[in-house]
Amino acid sequence: MPVEIDIAKVASLARIALSDEELRRYGEQLGAILEHAERVQQLPTEGIPPTSHPVPMTNAFRDDVVTGSLPAEDALAGAPEAEDGYFRVPPVLGDS
Amino acid sequence: MTDYEAVIGIETHVELMTDSKMFCGCPVDFGEAPNTTTCPVCLGLPGAMPVPNAEAMEGILKIGTALDCEVAEISYFHRKNYFYPDLPKNYQISQYDVPICHDGSIAIDVGGEPTRIGITRVHMEEDTGKSIHMGGGGRIHDAEYSLLDFNRSGVPLVEIVTEPDIRSAEQARAYGAELQRIVRTLGVSDARLEEGSMRFDANISVRPADDPVLGTRAEIKNVNSLRSLQRAVAFEIDRQIELIESGGTVVQETRHWNEETGKTTSMRSKEESEDYRYFQEPDLVPIEVSAEWRDAVMAALPELPAARRSRYQGLGVDARVAGVLVEADELGALFEEAMAAGGDPRLIGNWLSGEAVAWSRAENTAVGASPLSAQHLVDLAAMVADSTLSASAAKQVLGGVLGGEGSPAEVAEARDLVQISDSGVIEAAVDEVLVAHPDAVEGIRGGDMKPIGFLVGQVMRSTGGKADPKQVQQLIRDKTAG
Amino acid sequence: MSDPADLTIKAAGDAMRAGELTSLDLTEAALERARITESHLHAFLTLDQAGAKEAAAAADAALAAGEDAGPLHGIPIALKDNMCTKGIETTASSQILSGWIPPYNATVVDRLSAAGAVVVGKTNLDEFAMGSSTENSAYGTTRNPWDTDTVPGGSSGGSAAAVAAGSALGAFGSDTGGSIRQPASLCGVVGMKPTYGLVSRYGLIAFASSLDQIGPFARSVEDAAVLLEAVAGFDIHDATSIRGDVPNIRGSLSEGVAGLKVGIVTELSTTGIDPEVREAVVQTVNELSDAGAEVVDVSLPSCEYGLSAYYLIAPAECSANLARFDGVRYGLRAAGSTTEEMMAATRAEGFGPEVIRRILLGTYALSAGYYDAFYGQAQRVRTLIRREFAAAYEDVDVLVAPTSPTTAFPIGERTADPIAMYYADVCTIPMNLTGDPGISVPVGLDSKGLPIGFQVMAPALGEERLFQVAKAVEDIAGFTARAALATSEVVQP
């Protein structure tokens, strides 16, 4: 069974503006892919810890040393819009 | 009318003052031109990767240990996913189900009622950049556009979350103040509320006093002083009680504290509930805190405010005075130095928290900027101990020293405050007063002891305060007896 | 002497040191090959002719002055366009990064520069490395130099095609689910995915951070080893990079397989594998046995769940990794009256369908209420697969299997069917889930004249043994065929 998903909500979480037609298409495709992916649920995994990282390591830290920053013009070089050394964006709707 | 109980929890963000940022080698440096302390990592450029700052990890362990927390042997970084333009990667590296420190507490004391505020968790994360909303009076909702500065992006940020153990606005403030003192004592942050290096969010709900069920909570943001923390919490408690009393219901929302109006107002609520899709940060490996590391942090902790207050009280200093000394760095430092030089704790503590603070307020000058030294305080206390100065004369001398008139001996001399040590002179003054007040003498002889104080006062006045009041009292008792 | 563009790195290096060849000649030969073949192949997104010639001239001058940076000195190589190159456009084949010029180099780029290598250009890939055919590039499909009607594999199809065609003597790609090994197999070259953490990922535009690993393409196993040596080792900028000594990579290269125990993975070698591919693998295994290896069948039943687990883990990580492409700081920006609208429009316009599909899939797999059933479960399955492989290596020295279930498939054949496309990685994905190294070595041609790759797998940091067996496979197979486009008749009309 293809998996039913609230594709509009997923697209909104992923912040991608899609038309109704695109939502329908992606919804179908995702449903089919998830039907395959759901196979992982067939394996019993009780008591099995998850693997987030393939090579077991801990405490990969760096010393607290300042190694420098980009010149502001490099930082802003790729900016679609900049003003007075700032990145400029359209008005922000929500609050963080 | 129903009695209500407020239930308050506080989330605090503290920026650590490391040399470099949390995950990159950019400096932690405020007040620079916009976007000049940024690099591929803290700008979220494609391909850039975070590497945690060891000193920041040390810093959070200090905080957690100071808050009496359990330290997780293994903890993890997670990605907290949400889109916001000041968040370069559109996820924040934070911690989720296993924070590095958890289950601690802070002791506070409001109105002589000691309370422990539980600490749920202390976790490591990174700060965001800053947005400036342009046009429309700078308010976000009316802005024409926004400007972004990523200098603050990636500054190490420690989040400290309390249990909902706080019950009043006063306790909220006391908690905030104590946490600030602890963080400053540890030297990991300047913890300045006005500058945002320490920030409070308060979750507040109210419920009938006998109701075990929690009410709906509102989260208050934009509190940038201890005073506004107290005011905002007080306002919000009242608002919720009034709302319920008038038949309304509290909605779960984020509210904005407005310092000018003294009110909280609802912020635009989000269209859908947050779904941060936390998952373990695959660019980082787990944090492992060995027993050795934990013990080393513990051993290197400086004396914390609570321990210091209790030590001062052990020296005979009043609780209130001890609080003042621990609160103000310069007073505490003078006090410590004076103690090291063998000064009298009680007298010197009282002078510092009383006269010195009053002088500082009146003159609008820091005590540290005055000529007063620890040695002055020690000398002054010695002059009281050997009866060279009366207690009240000593306070006058202290004023003179603070004002730059010289050493205690010089001021006492110049102001003619040295106690009369010649007992003949004092006896003559006593006799004079007894003669002038026969009714009082008569009363004492008839068994009414109250006039003794009055007569002592008269003698002190006639000697310009330079007589030893104990000696005077003894003489009056002797001369009126029999 | 034959065209220098067809030399191995080893041979070119020997010729340079013997004074028979300059880096400039070699580089110009590679660039000339690219000039002739690119209209057929489209392996490159950027060819840096001026920069390459300058670097080659500098390499020649250095060598003349007695400064020899090692085996890559003066060798023209290509880089997949998802590795940041300072001052050179880097797009990851996405519209959303069109025109983006990185202000910094990936660690591998700096290391290659220190090793004296000459970068000729940036190669095409499936957008953000998501794909198995290089058809998902926003800048056009790369074609297979063996048959330009077929795909070169992917996602590092450009790097594989460039090396197969002779436009570079070696190349680097990234491998998240097979994106080096599978195109190497389809293009008849050697492609290798190192142990996770052996090569720094700093400056590699991330697809799935816990799976991505940079590795080499070459025309010989030894060349691949040389390329890997130049970039392997701890990097302070990558917190997942392995501290400590780099494993000896070439130490046992010529020691053959006598006395080694080789396990053929049943689950990766039977069901769904093209009969001709299967036959070539079996034949190679038999020859390994003849050469003195002990060959056994190994069953790793959890492998069958690898593809499913991968298509939850990789999209989940990519959904966060690609969140930064929002039109705020770099790259494409679409119009929008608010920042929120601008971001959503930018991402809709800037990402291609496969990228959007995977972002949506990953967003869903991580979202509240589904995390445990999908992402969490996939990570536990990942543990099972790791344990199975670790147990297998208790008994055998290396594992072997086909690299790809099929040889190169026709362009357009699978574009409408994402799941069919995903199956192209079924044999390579387990290594990304375990973090272990794997290598694809060409062993023959199918009846259509398309190359077949043989995969060798080893435990983490088992590179020395991996290359030893790969070299033996190379010697046994004696694969000397060259891609049609790389033969002199075609390239010199």
| Per-residue confidence in pLDDT tens, chain B, 482 aa | 679 999 999 999 999 999 999 999 999 998 899 999 999 999 999 999 999 999 999 999 999 999 999 999 999 999 999 999 999 999 999 999 999 999 999 999 998 889 999 999 999 999 999 999 988 766 666 789 999 999 999 999 999 999 999 999 999 999 999 999 999 999 999 999 999 999 999 999 999 988 889 999 999 998 999 999 999 999 999 999 999 999 999 999 999 999 899 999 988 655 456 899 999 999 999 999 999 999 999 999 999 999 999 999 999 999 999 999 998 889 999 999 999 999 999 999 999 999 999 999 999 999 989 999 999 999 999 999 888 888 888 999 999 999 999 999 999 989 888 877 777 888 888 999 999 999 888 888 888 888 888 999 988 888 877 888 888 888 898 888 86
Residue among A53, A58, A86 whose CB faces B148 most closely: A86
Domain containing C54 equals 4-255+477-491
Total domains present in chain C: 1
Residue of B nearest to A54 (CA): B282
Q: What are phi and psi of C444, to 5 degrees?
A: 170, -175
Instruction: Give me the count of residues in chain C.
Output: 493
Per-residue pLDDT, B388: 86
Q: Do C367 and B50 touch (CB under 8 A)?
A: no
Nearest-Cα distance to chain A for B58, in Å, is 11
> What is the number of CB-based contacts under 8 A between chain A and chain B?
140
Confidence of residue C32 (pLDDT cuts 50, 70, 90): very high
Residues in chain C with CB shorter than 8 Å from the CB of A18 are 348, 356
Q: Which amino acid is at C164?
A: A
Q: Is residue C220 part of a domain?
A: yes
Per-residue pLDDT, B269: 58
Q: What residues of C are labeled active site?
A: 80, 155, 179
Residue among B55, B254, B272 whose CB faces A64 most closely: B55
Q: What is the pLDDT of residues C180-200, one digit of tens each?
A: 999 999 999 999 999 999 999
Q: Is residue C89 part of a domain?
A: yes
Contact by Cβ (8 Å): C342, A14: no
Q: Is residue C196 part of a domain?
A: yes
* Segments of C61-110 assigned E as strands: 76-80
- Mean pLDDT value across residues A73-86: 96
Residue A57 reports pLDDT greater than 80: yes
Q: Give me the residues of A, 14-33, that contact C with CB < 8 A.
A: 14-18, 26, 29-30, 32-33
| Chain A interface mutation, best of B125, B221, B222, B285, highest count of A Cβ atoms under 10 Å | B285
Q: What percent of chain C has pLDDT over 70?
A: 99
- Please return the burial class of B263, using the count of CB atoms within 10 Å of its CB with bins 0-12, 13-18 and 19+: middle
Q: Is residue C175 part of a domain?
A: yes
Separation in Å, CA B99 to CA B60, B73, B161, B407, C344: 11, 10, 11, 55, 32
Residues in chain C with CB shorter than 8 Å from the CB of B282 are 208-210, 240, 317
| Chain B interface mutation, best of C81, C93, C328, highest count of B Cβ atoms under 10 Å | C328
Nearest-Cα distance to chain C for A41, in Å, is 7
Residue among C205, C237, C368 whose CB faces B46 most closely: C205
What domains does chain B contain, in order, with CATH numbers? 4-293 (no CATH), 303-414 (no CATH), 423-480 (1.10.10.410)
Residue among C92, C202, C208 whose CB faces B49 most closely: C202
> What is the number of CB-based contacts under 8 A between chain A and chain C?
179
| Chain A interface mutation, best of B147, B157, B292, highest count of A Cβ atoms under 10 Å | B147
Per-residue pLDDT, A96: 47
Q: Is residue C155 part of a domain?
A: yes
Subunits with at least 3 CB pairs below 8 A relative to chain A? B, C
Separation in Å, CA B77 to CA A58, B284, C153, C168, C203: 11, 7, 35, 40, 21
Q: C23-41 and C157-165 helices cross at what angle (nearest 10)? A: 120
Q: Do C363 and A43 touch (CB under 8 A)?
A: no
Nearest-Cα distance to chain C for B159, in Å, is 22
DSSP per-residue string spanning C114-139: HTT-EEEEEE--SGGG--SSSTT-TT
Q: What is the pLDDT of residues C413-470, one digit of tens each?
A: 999 898 889 999 999 999 999 999 999 999 999 999 999 999 999 999 999 999 999 9
Residues in chain C with CB shorter than 8 Å from the CB of B47 are 82-84, 102, 106, 202-206
Q: CA quadruple C345, C348, C349, C350: dihedral positive or negative?
A: positive
Q: What is the pLDDT of residues C257-309, one digit of tens each?
A: 999 999 999 999 988 999 999 999 999 999 999 999 999 999 999 999 999 99
- What CATH number corresponds to the domain at position C59? 3.90.1300.10
In whole angstroms, give the CA distance from residue C265 to residue C398.
10
Q: Is residue C314 part of a domain?
A: no
Residue of C nearest to B23 (CA): C237
- Interface check for B40 against chain C (CB to CB < 8 A): the answer is yes
In whole angstroms, give the CA distance from residue C227 to residue C77.
10
Residue among A61, A70, A87 whose CB faces B148 most closely: A87
If you average pLDDT over every residue of chain A, what do you get? 92
| Chain B interface mutation, best of A62, A63, A76, highest count of B Cβ atoms under 10 Å | A62
Nearest-Cα distance to chain C for B30, in Å, is 21
Q: Do B38 and A69 touch (CB under 8 A)?
A: yes
Contact by Cβ (8 Å): A26, A7: yes
Residues in chain C with CB shorter than 8 Å from the CB of A40 are 305, 308-309, 312, 374, 377-378, 381
- Please return the burial class of B266, using the count of CB atoms within 10 Å of its CB with bins 0-12, 13-18 and 19+: exposed
If you average pLDDT over every residue of chain C, what do you get? 96
- Interface check for A65 against chain C (CB to CB < 8 A): the answer is no
- Mean pLDDT value across residues C149-177: 98
Per-residue pLDDT, B261: 93
Residue A59 reports pLDDT greater than 70: yes
Per-residue pLDDT, B151: 97
Diameter of chain A by CA atoms? 58
Residue C314 reports pLDDT greater than 60: yes
Per-residue pLDDT, B420: 78
In whole angstroms, give the CA distance from residue C404 to residue C383.
24
Per-residue pLDDT, B273: 62
DSSP per-residue string spanning C219-233: SSHHHHHHHHHHHBS
Least confident window among A40-54, B62-76, C150-164: A40-54
Q: Do C240 and B285 touch (CB under 8 A)?
A: yes
Q: Is residue C111 part of a domain?
A: yes
- The pair of structure tokens assigned to C153 is 């594999």
What ipTM was predicted for this assembly? 0.96
Q: Is residue C417 part of a domain?
A: no
Separation in Å, CA B163 to CA B104, B179, B227, C29: 10, 14, 21, 70
Tokens 């505020």 belong to residue: B117
Q: Do A51 and C386 touch (CB under 8 A)?
A: yes
Of C434, C429, C445, nearest to C178 by C-alpha is C429
